[in-house]
Amino acid sequence: MRDCMFFVADSNMEETFKGFLLRDKFYLSLGCGKFEFDPVEDISRARGKTDGGLWRHADILLEGYQRTHQRLVVCLDRDFGGSPGQKQVRADITRQLVAVGWEEKNFVVLVIDPELEQWIWQDSEHVERALRHTRPPTLRKYLADNGEWPEGSPKPLDPKSTLQNIVDRNRLDRSSDLYGKITSRVSIKNCVDPEFQRLAETLRTWFSPEVAA
């Protein structure tokens, strides 16, 4: 049986997780014990359904994975049409998973508030290179001067819109690969989003750091 299945809402999330999990000895960066991750066997997405579909049909989409994987991480954005809010989305998916046989101790539901781009933004040269930003000034200073990332704020005011503006300005192809390029290099310790921290804490509980190689 495989260690953990990561089931996400869309291709952007899929590449984001791959960026973190395909690093050499990624588990050390996360502060947890060693577990196996295969990008073919251990990650999938709600093809054609995205966030709202995953919320409504988690039971159908995820039934059966408990026969192939010991643990399950489910991840989606809070901000989608018809969303009842972070707390309710998490409760609804939890209820569906329990109904199809998952034990609550063996899965975690991450609902990023408001959306995935919360995990992308850091004041980092790795982010600058991925977004082809040319200094001076630093990208952080450029966004602060434009009012998009105020001083003292851990993230831009509108992470998704800010990313799109930079992609358009630098004439980048905003494919899902961009997310993986960023998360394969940025510091995991600097990702302060609460849902990312829940992910790291859960993995440390499931896979004890004491057994890390």
Q: How long is the chain?
A: 213
Half-sphere exposure of 75 (CA within 13 A, CB side): 26
pLDDT 10s per residue in the chain (213 long)?
Answer: 999 999 999 999 999 999 999 999 999 999 999 999 999 999 999 988 899 999 999 999 999 999 999 999 999 999 999 999 999 999 999 999 999 999 999 999 999 999 999 999 999 999 999 999 999 999 999 999 999 999 999 899 999 999 999 999 999 987 899 999 999 999 998 898 999 999 999 999 999 987 544
Q: Which domains does the chain have, with CATH numbers?
A: 2-118+189-211 (3.40.1360), 122-179 (no CATH)
Across the beta sheet with 43-45, the strand order is: 43-45, 2-8, 69-77, 107-112
- Answer for the pair 122, 186: CB distance below 8 angstroms, yes or no: yes
